[in-house]
Each structure stands twice: as structure tokens, then as C-alpha cells.
Structure 1
């Protein structure tokens, strides 16, 4: 009997260890964080559902196949607290199960969004028994004592209830999905913070704000001083790099910034740091409780500040943004990364750079579902080595940011990225992988890579030749739709380029340091049929303009080899 019990115990321990080893995880390769799923690097070619799309099984039933047909490999879908725990202590995971089964049937992976205490800086997805009992579950307050529809970070009752629900959700996912691993990552809350005020001005919050900065935070800042976010280091040093004191004594008195350099200066920064600490502490505890049940990677997403919303309170103050990333890391080590929701696409490069600081892996779980959004997927995976990308409203449901289901640009882009994903993963974290992008007003761009440079320019929508001034040119108007390109340097003289949407011409020639003349050894168009790669050699008329042509609406892959002469 003892021998049997020993064998069973050993077997259970071995299975648990094996499960722990093969769970999806974040892992550094070539100095860049990769997302490992089923033992291999995984690029999330994703789309996020509208907030209420997963609110019924019958609505989603035909949608799963549509998403698969559009070449997604991952769907980002919400689970709301109010629907899984409508009665306190009684959980209903019917919708969770239908979501997992629907995705699994189409061989799709799931990233689950937990709409718990907060969603978009409000508490609208909490159960009715929470909403109706503000005495037990208190709210934040703005200046003047106005209650906000946002649960307080200082409520142990709210934290305990949320952690209990999230733990139950993670335990259930483990039971029904640990073998298949359809669910690969969790988002804890959604675009958290406080709107309408730079901080919580409730009596409890004000007492904490006027109290001492926690030593836990100060110890983190001291230990990581050399790598702190520049703006955070600046205000700390400006106030004497104190190791103790109140929030204003350590970080200074928060004031509204009145200049034009909103990207590098911060209004009410001390209030934002204070809110970040308390939000991250709360969310970190929930994430940790969830990981104790099922240790999937977990992230928090940020509603970014923008040109017309530069003050905390105009965007959710304290949310997981680059200027308070260090605060989040100190307070919530169970959160593995912070993700960028990018709708202010004119600031796309700035946001990607900011969210890539301190080796934070770039993940874009929300962005615009349009031609530009499709083209920027190529750019994000190439230029910024993103681990995932997702236009919002991918199912076409909802009133705002609704995807045009007749637009097949994302389908083509994701098919292209799927076919070169192994090459992208191979070169992530190296200078051999980059990307180019042309917005609607742009005509050309380029990148130098060793002895050669890759150029991307506009191509005529007509695609016809005409003779002007004794020379051949391209007839018709240029197509100015957004276009993106992934560029991979395979060898010193060989490049893989993949992209399109708007019409473009891709050429490769000598870099600024390479004074020799150059030309093509080969230009091969790469296609895939049922996963099998095929190569078609081009020359003559097809490369007469200097390289590879990608017509408007197309997404293509080329391998280009060059030489000097």
C-alpha cells in the first residue's frame, strides 16, 4: 500500500513538474523576450473582440470560423466578473467554457481579458452585489468629494472579492484547458486608472498620500537607479534622491505642465506615481493569487497619454504606462509585461519605443482595425520585434472602432506573417530584423543594413508604362494607402522583404558607406501553398524599375540577392 501511495505521489509530482515546464512563458533569446507556446517561439497574430461579443455562446458560434479564415492564430476575448459570479460565491463558467471550446475547435489560441474591478478606469463590469454596496466596496473620489464610478484601491473587501473570483477563474481554466492549452495568456483588468482627477482624493487615499512612501518602493528605486525611466529619475534626483519621506517630499509637488514638450514632461507626476503604486499593488496581488492556481503569463494594458490628453485624469492616472513602469515592476512582480493600446496612430513610433524600454516586450492588444492597422502589423513585428498585435473589434460587432469585414488586408498581412514567422522569430533581438512603414502622406523611406540599403517607395495604382521625355515611367496616380514592410537581412548580400497593402516598390542598393555600383543577382517571389514554399525567379521587365513591385491591395514576399560591380 505504501509503495502504491509513493508511486502515485511521484506520478502526480512528475506531472505537475512537466506541466509547469511546458506552460506558455516569456523567455529571453538574443537579448529579446520571446513568447514560447508549446515549446516554440510564437507570434500572436491576433484580433480583439468587442467588449460584449463573448457575452453569449450563440453570437460567437459562427465568429470563430470567420476569425480562423482571416488567418488569426490568437483571439483576445473578455471574461467579465459580473457574468461569472452574478451571485456572491456562486460561479458560472458556462461562457468561459463555450469560448474555450469555440477557439479550440478552430485551432485558435486565446488571450483572456479579466474585466474585474476596473475596465477603462471604471467599475462597470463588477457584479450587482458589488455595485449596490458602496459602504462595503467604497469608490474613489475626485477633488471636492465627488464619488467616481471607480472602486477604491484601498478597499480590502474589493481586493479580496476580486482575487477570489480571479483565482476561481484560473483554477477552472487549469481544469478544462491545461492539457490543450488553448488559453495562453491573461490580462488582469483593463486600462486601469482614475479619470477626472489626477489621484483619488478620498479621505483614506489622502491620508496615504500624505504619509510615507513605502520602503519597498524606495528599495527598488535605489537598487535599479541606473536603469530607471529618465523622467522618474529626474524628479527623484531633483528632490534630493531621498530614501524616505512623503510622496511630495520624495517626488516633488505635482503641477500642471504648461509647455509643449508633453512627451518628456509630466503634469501631476507625483499624483500619477502614487496612483500607479496603489493600482499595481492591488492588481499584483490578484495576479499572484491567479498564478498560484495556474501560472500563465499575465499582463496589464495601458491607455496612453496623447496630444489632447496630456494630463493624468484626462487619461487614466496611474495606469501601466512607461513613465510609471518602474513603479508597476516594484509593486506587481506577478505582472510579466505591460502592453500598449494604440489608437493615436500618429504617435505609433513614440509609443512603441516607450513601451519597449527596460526590455519590456512589445505587445499591442488594441489598435485600429483599418488599412493602416493592417500595414502597421508588418511594421510592429519588423521594426519593434513585437510578440503580438491585435486590431480591436475584429468581429465587427459594436458601435465604435468597428472592423470593416469586407476589408481583407489584415487577412493577407497575417497570411504573410504566418509564412515568415519562423524567420522573424529566428532574427528577433538582432539588427538583422527591422521594418519600414509609409503613412498616407509619405512617399518613400529606407533603412541601411551593412553594405546595402533597402528602399521602399510608392508604386502607381495603374501599373502601366508611358513614355515621357524619352524615358519610361509609371502612368497613373500613386496609391497612397498605408503600407508596411518586414525586412530581414539573411546574409551580407541577401534580404527577405515582405509586405504591402498600399502599392509599393522595394529596391536594394549600396549603402552610404558602399561606393561601388550594385545590381541584382536574383529577385525571387516567394509563395506558399498548403505550407509548402515555392520560389519564382524574376528578371527583365519585372525588375526593370529596380526591384520588387507590390501592387495596391497585395501583400507579397521576395528574396533579393545583390552584388557590387
Structure 2
């Protein structure tokens, strides 16, 4: 999906805090955070209230600041359009929108009280947002089409209705009582699986009817989802007609086990409405989940929901902590993520520019990913990218390679990790006791690339003597190697060795790597 100068590009980095793009000083801290991670891309907001302070009078100086600062630091940029929706509300709309409540009418609660949310049924709001977005895309085309600093635009942010299950205004009520669009109904019938199809079946698979007649108690949420999705798709279509960049929107997820609309922005692109959103938004390239859950059972469900044939997995927000680090590795290795970002990247450094302790493990994992990025792109989706993730109470993690069995022990392996030269001076504070983490890339039957903080033991996967080799792996070397080297990858994926290991540094079937080794390349004897 993402390209730069016609070549595939995998964006990795961080998102600035919500207010960090108002001035250069705060933006600098976000850029410093991305650089500390070794990332290649910054996600930063562009605020409707700032670019159109007076109706039809545009000021793109803040956008120019973003472009300039990213270019200075050799970073790409994903623009986040904070407009009609930001986290299920309208906080970033211009003052002239906020004060004219008749022209730009709000969502009404069930008791008739207006909320701080523009109604998706408000045509004036739709046209105003689309006009501003067209102007933004025109400015980006003029200022950046040659440079291609901006690789994508997020249209709105976590859209939906926060605090109520749906819009109870007269326009919304009329839509709810009206017929479900025939094109949507035909599409859902043809799915033959998924949340929306199951609801349709449960309610008798009707051929026509109102939203509540066709979808029962889910009718209100589905009608809301259809309205918001069509609103956003219209804005995306208007923008792409001016400058055809990849576009997506992101999702504030429903809570697993407590999926009540209003606790998350109702009508947003959550698992229960995702099929409606995908059909209603042909001008969006994908729907991206913001994943803060560190519980892997929940995380796995989210990845499986959003990784679909019509929707690659892209994570625009996560937490910059150790628990999210291990899920990042899984997303890249197991769910073929095409990009990954942490939120609040401007808060991972102290006043002296050093990583905060809580962010060290995430940064180590992130840097390991970046060191292997060309190969991650090359082998994504092949099953050759493996995540090393240490779970609580787990003794080891095993891997089935094409011709070998690998194991990463989650215990202290003793002096092997001390066998470094002066370039690999160990920092015990950063290494000892840290969970094992990293990636293994199986580039061929005998060729492996490692990055992270772990030991990899390997034995033959089959053949005469493999069991004896496994039993003796702590005493003898069960596999023979042609070379073990430390180094780095070029942008094209070429490995450049900087240090050769042999003897004590690569015996007993143990190949180790730390965050300070760079990439370790192993070539075994056939």
C-alpha cells in the first residue's frame, strides 16, 4: 500500500501527542522520539481549527512546518486529519463550526440533549469538512508531490459517537426508520460469514425493511456505522480527486467482553460493523485498529479481525512499553503488519534526551525490527518471519524451520553472552533480567538472520541421529556452520558484515544476539 518514489515502503515510527504539532518546539520532541527508536516515519495531526480559522480562509503554515521538520530529519510523514471526529467528538473543529449550532447541528442524546459531536447527517458539516480536506490535499500536492515526504493521510480520528449508542436527532431517526440500502443488503447476504451476516440471519434474513426490522437491536448501531462511513468516504473521495495519496481511518476498538456502543465511539469501524465499513468506504485503502490491549488473547482477536483479504493489518497507535513491544513483534511476524506506530513518541525521552526506563524494552525491540526491515518486507506473508516473545512462566519457545528445529530458552544462559569484543560492552542494567525478544528470519534452508536479545539453539529437524543431537546439544555442537557474522542490512537488503564469530562465540548450537550486536547472520553447512 505505501510507496515512496514508486518503491514499496514500510512505515515504522511514532505518533506525536494530540497537541504536539501546534509549534516547532513540541514537534521537535516527537521527532527526537522517532529518531531514538530508529523509525522512518512520524504520524502527526493537522488540525482543521488551525488550517481554516475563518471560513474559506486557509492557513497551511503548520503543515509547512511539519514538512520542513520531517525533511530536515530524513523522516516521512503520515498526516492525521483531525476534523469532524477526533476520538468520537469534535474538539478540533474551527470556532465558526462550534458556535453555529443551527447550521452545524449536533448529535442528540435519547433525552434530546445535544452532544459535543457533529451529526453525520449534517450536510453542511460534511461539505465544510470536505472543502477543507480538498484544500489540504491541494496544498500537499503543490508542496510535496515531488519530494513525497507525506506517504499517507488518515481521514478523521477514531470516528463515532462517544457517550451514546446512536444519534437520536430527527434526521437520524428518519434514516433509522427508512429502508436499509438495497446495495448494502445484497452485499451482506453474499458474505456468508461475519458479524453483520450473522445478525442478518438471526433476524430472519429479510429481503427489505427498516434497519431495526432487518437487523433487530443492532439496527441503530449499523445505521450509524453506515452514515459515518459514507460521510468519511465522501471526504476521502474529494481529497483523492485532488491528490491521490493512500488513505485510511482508524478505530477506537470495542471492548472484548463488553462491546457496548457509547463506551467506544458508536458507529465506528469496530469488529461488529467492519463489514459495513469496508463496503461503504471504497476510497479508503484500509481500516486500522488502535491497539492498546496488552492481553495477548485480546490482541490476537483484534489482529485476526482486521487482517482480511480486503484489509491489511496496519497499527497506527499502540503503547510504547514492553508489553506492547512483544505484541508488535507478533503483529509483524504472525499477522503480516505493513506498519506499526506507538502513540506519544514525544514522551519516551527524559529532559537529557535519554530513553525513559519504561520505554527501553520497546525501543530495543523496535530497533531490532528496524535493523531487519528490508527482510521483513521481503519475507512478509511467507511464514519465514518468526517472533521471539517471552511469556510469563514459559521456559522456552520452539520453532520449526524448513530443515531444523530451533529453541530459545527463557533462562539465564551464563557466560556465552559475555563473549564480546570492545564494541559490544555489556550494559547489565539494560540486558540482565530483560525478557527475551526479537525476530528470526529464515532466508533459506541454511540461512538465518537474528536481531533482538536471545539465544537460539538449533538441531537437525529429522534424519539419523537427530534425537541424539538434541540430547547432546548442551555438550556438543549439533549443527555445523559455515559462518556466523554480525553486521547490518542496506536499504536493499544486502548484508554487510562487520564482525566474524567463531569458536567460543558460536558453539554448543547456541547463536546469540543482543540489541548491541546489530544483525546476526548464520549460514549452516548443508
Scaled by the length of structure 1, what TM-score is found?
A: 0.80
Superposed CA deviations along residues 400-453 of structure 1, whole A, max 9, x for unmatched, are: xxx954645555444433332221111122122332322455443233233433
Instruction: Determine the structure 1 residue equivalent to 2:382.
Output: 430
Aligned-pair CA distance for 1:388: 0.8
Q: What does residue 509 of structure 2 align with?
A: 546
Specify the alignment match of 2:456 in structure 1. Answer: 506
User: Distance in 2 between the 1:515 and 1:357 partners?
Assistant: 43
Q: For 1:150 and 1:441, how far apart are their aligned partners in 2?
A: 46
Larger CA deviation: 187-196 vs 366-375: 366-375
Q: Does 1:277 align with 2:226?
A: yes
Query: Are the aligned partners of 1:375 and 1:437 in contact in 2 as well (CA < 8 Å)?
Result: yes
Report the Cα distance in structure 2 between the residues aligned to 1:150 and 1:515, rounded to whole angstroms.
69
User: Secondary structure, in 3 states, of the residue corresponding to 2:267?
Assistant: coil
Matched, 1:354 2:316: no
Matches within 5 A, 1:154-165: 154-165=121-132
CA distance in 1, matches of 2:54, 2:249: 27
- 1:472 matched to which residue of 2? none
Instruction: Name the count of aligned residue pairs.
Output: 499
SS in 2 for 1:322: coil
Q: Does the 8 Å CA contact 1:279/1:318 hold for their aligned counterparts?
A: yes
- Alignment equivalent of 2:208, drawn from 244, 250, 255: 244
Deviation (angstroms), 1:109: 0.3
Distance of 2:231 and 2:123 partners within structure 1: 9
- Partner residue, 1:526: 486
User: In the alignment, is the contact (CA less than 8 A) between 1:452 and 1:514 conserved in 2?
Assistant: no
Contact 1:372 1:439 in 2 (8 A): no
SS state at 1:345 partner = coil
- 5+ long unaligned stretches in structure 2: 418-430, 470-477
Q: Distance in 1 between matches of 2:13 and 2:287?
A: 17
Give the stretch that moved more between structures: 297-306 or 115-124: 297-306
The offset of 1:530, in angstroms, is 8.6
Alpha-carbon offset, residue 272 of structure 1:
2.5
Secondary structure of the structure 1 residue equivalent to 2:368: helix
Q: 1:302 to 1:62 in 2, by over 3 A?
A: closer
> What is the distance in 2 between the residues matched to 1:324 and 1:515?
54
Q: Structure 1 residue 486: deviation in Å?
A: 2.1
Deviation at 1:210, TM superposition (A): 1.8
SS of equivalent residue, structure 1 residue 53: coil
Residues 53 and 397 of structure 1 are in contact (CA less than 8 Å); yes or no, is this contact kept in structure 2? no
Which residue of the partner structure matches residue 16 of structure 2? 49
Q: Deviations over 1:213-235 (max 9, x none)?
A: 0122123224x424x5x222222
1:43-82 equivalent positions in 2, closer than 5 A: 43-61=10-28, 64=31, 67-82=34-49
- Report what 2:139 is aligned to: 172
CA drift at 1:340: 1.4
Distance 1:225 1:376, change over 3 A: closer
Runs of 4+ deviating beyond 4 Å: 403-412, 461-465, 510-515, 529-532, 553-556, 561-564
Query: Contact 2:395–2:411 (CA<8 Å) still a contact in 1?
Result: no
Is the Cα contact below 8 Å between 1:440 and 1:481 reproduced in 2? no
Question: What is the aligned counterpart of 2:440 among 471, 475, 487?
Answer: 487
1: CA distance, partners of 2:325 / 2:151: 23
Residue 56 of structure 1 and its aligned partner are, at CA, apart by: 1.2
Question: Which deviates more from structure 2 when the two are superposed, residues 180-189 or residues 312-321?
Answer: 312-321
Distance 1:194 1:513 in 2: 60
> 3-state DSSP class of the match of 2:440?
strand
Quote how far apart the aligned CAs of 1:173 are: 0.6
Q: Do the aligned residues in 1 keep the contact of 2:488 with 2:519 (CA within 8 Å)?
A: no
Q: 1:539 to 1:164 in 2, by over 3 A?
A: same
Residue range with higher mean Cα deviation, 177-186 or 320-329? 320-329
Tell whether the 8 Å contact from 1:111 to 1:184 is kept in structure 2 after alignment. Answer: yes
Instruction: Select the residue among 447, 457, 470 that pairs with 2:409.
Output: 457
Counterpart secondary structure, 1:357: coil
Return the alpha-carbon distance in structure 1 between the equivalents of residues 120 and 19 of structure 2: 25
Per-residue Cα deviation, 1:86-121 (whole angstroms, up to 9, x for no partner): 111111101100110110111110000000001000
Measure the CA separation in 2 of the matches of 1:80 and 1:390: 20
After superposition, what is the alpha-carbon deviation per residue over 1:478-506, rounded to whole angstroms, capped at 9, x for unaligned? 95544433232222233223223xxx322
Q: Provide the residue aligned with 1:293 in structure 2.
A: 242
Q: Residues 8-60 of structure 1, C-alpha deviation per residue, up to 9 Å, x if partnerless?
A: xxxxxxxxxxxxxxxxxx2xxxxxxxx32222221112100000000113432
1:311 maps to which residue?
260
Q: Which residue number corresponds to residue 383 of structure 1?
A: 334
> Is contact 1:459-1:505 (8 Å) kept?
no
CA RMSD, aligned part only? 3.2
Does the C-alpha gap of structure 1 residues 529 and 390 become closer, same or farther in structure 2, counting only changes over 3 Å?
Answer: closer
CA distance in 1, matches of 2:412, 2:339: 32
Q: Which of 168, 176, 187 is the matching residue for 1:209? A: 176
SS in 2 for 1:343: coil
Q: Where in structure 1 are there 5+ consecutive unaligned residues?
A: 1-25, 27-34, 255-268, 466-477
Quick one: distance in 2 between partners of 1:200 and 1:360?
A: 28
The correspondence of residues 107-122 of structure 1 with structure 2, limited to 5 A, is: 107-122=74-89
2:370 matched to which residue of 1? Answer: 418
Residue of structure 2 in register with 1:125 after alignment: 92
CA pair 203-66 structure 1, distance change in 2 beyond 3 A: closer
Contact 2:17–2:346 (CA<8 Å) still a contact in 1? yes
SS at match of 2:315: strand
CA contact (8 A) 1:379 1:484 kept: no
1:233 aligns with 2:197: yes
**Partners of 2:34 and 2:499 in 1: CA distance:** 30
Residue 559 in 1 paired to residue 521 in 2?
Answer: yes
Mapped to 2, the partners of 1:453 and 1:308 lie a distance apart of: 38
- Note closer, same or farther for the CA distance 1:367–1:555 as it changes in structure 2 (3 Å cut): farther
